[in-house]
Amino acid sequence: MRILDIGCGPGTITADLAALVPQGHVTGLDQAPDVLELARATAAERGVSNVSFAVGDVHALDYADGAFDVVHTHQVLQHITDPVQALREMRRVTAPGGLVAAREADFPASAWYPEDVQGLPEWRDLYVQVARANGGEPAAGRRLHVWARQAGFDPARVATSASTMCYSGPAQREWWGGLWADRIRVPPFSQLAVEGGHASAEDLERAAAAWRAWANEEDAWFVIMHGEILCRMP
């Protein structure tokens, strides 16, 4: 079993995959060399040795046709400029009978409680706007199957599904709310938002305050939807 995990980031999923195939090998690929140091540390901590890591761009993979049995990506296609080309490449490097798998968030389909937290709808709209202006597609989840068809996969061999991540309870509220309150106010998001004319510094402060207000609600609850595809190669 040869597995390629594209956009592996800190490598937590890469290490999970490696543990599932002790006789096989997993390659974690990312375009950011720095994050691969984290990924190597994750693999070492978990005691998995059947992994290796490489720098690369999903738009132009440096692997032979059919080099892998499974090609996987998680939360990457939403950030890149040409997800169809990425899936074309993922398809090319997958062996006959193999699998291509992807899971991507769909931010406009987020839901939360309390529904009346001031500023959260504005945060969602701003995030969608800035991500699109940056060449990404924050509603990637609902488009995965379309991109797969455009990349040449036979729709009859593409299984679609959706799942959610749900954040509630003190620890998750603090982590998820804090993550967004911080992320909004620092580059690259703040820079893209302000320089792109999508928001003022005050708008960003208001969005960060909305996240802190959400996190302080005892009953706070947030769900983010993800689309999934599992494409079977003929």
In the complex, the residues that contact ligand SAM under the rule CB under 6 A are 6-9, 12-13, 30-32, 35, 57-59, 74-76, 79-80
CB of 118 to ligand SAM, least distance (A): 28
CB of 86 to ligand SAM, least distance (A): 7
Q: Are 74 and 201 in contact (CB under 8 A)?
A: no
Measured from each CB, the residue nearest to ligand SAM is 9
Question: 68 or 220: whose CB is closer to ligand SAM?
Answer: 68
Question: 55 or 146: whose CB is closer to ligand SAM?
Answer: 55
CB of 137 to ligand SAM, least distance (A): 13
Strand-by-strand arrangement of the 158-168 sheet: 51-55, 25-30, 2-6, 68-74, 94-113, 221-232, 158-168
CB of 53 to ligand SAM, least distance (A): 11
Question: 99 or 213: whose CB is closer to ligand SAM?
Answer: 99
Question: 57 or 228: whose CB is closer to ligand SAM?
Answer: 57
CB of 39 to ligand SAM, least distance (A): 9
CB of 104 to ligand SAM, least distance (A): 10
Question: 165 or 201: whose CB is closer to ligand SAM?
Answer: 165
Strands of the chain, DSSP E: 2-6, 25-30, 51-55, 68-74, 94-113, 158-168, 221-232
For residue 157, give Cα distances in angstroms to 145, 147, 180, 229. 11, 14, 37, 10
Task: State the DSSP code for 24.
Answer: S
Backbone angles phi, psi at 20, to 5 degrees: -75, -20
Helix 201-216 with 169-185: angle, nearest 10 deg: 180
DSSP letter string, 61-78: --S-TT-EEEEEEES-GG
From the list 132, 21, 155, the residue with the least C-alpha distance to 79 is 132
Question: 105 or 199: whose CB is closer to ligand SAM?
Answer: 105
